[in-house]
Amino acid sequence: MDCPTDYQIKKQLIINMNLALWDVCHTCIRPGSADSNIREEEPNHIEDLLTAHPTIHSIIFNGKTAEKLFHRHLRIMDGINLITLPSTSPAYTLPFEKKMETWQMVLQNLKNS
């Protein structure tokens, strides 16, 4: 499957797969684009989201920084599967094909669960 580049197509793909897309941080200071520069972050209200939508069963992190920020600010809720995947950032040098392979495998498993 080719990756769509059009924003509306990407949005529809997320909706069709019953996914929600949300940043761990609501706000932060990040000079430049490196995740390692994130400072003074304020987390999103993910616990409230999970309480309001009890059918959510998995959280997928786009890289280890997102996972680390989640654990720094939020408690783990019972029954929620936490999955950390390779960052899609071009700064993460794992070849794109390997990133895509891992993401597709996890998404296929989620669709089957």
Q: What single string gives the DSSP state of each residue in 49-84?
A: HHHH-TT--EEEEESHHHHHHHHHH-PPPTTPEEEE
pLDDT (average), residues 57-63: 89
Report pLDDT for 15. Answer: 87
Please give the Cα distance from 26 to 44 (Å, whole number). Answer: 5
Let me know: does 90 contact 112? Beta carbons within 8 Å. no
- Kindly state the average pLDDT of the residues 107-112: 74
- pLDDT at residue 17 is higher than 90: no
Give the predicted TM-score (pTM) of the model. 0.77
Q: How much is the pLDDT for 98?
A: 85
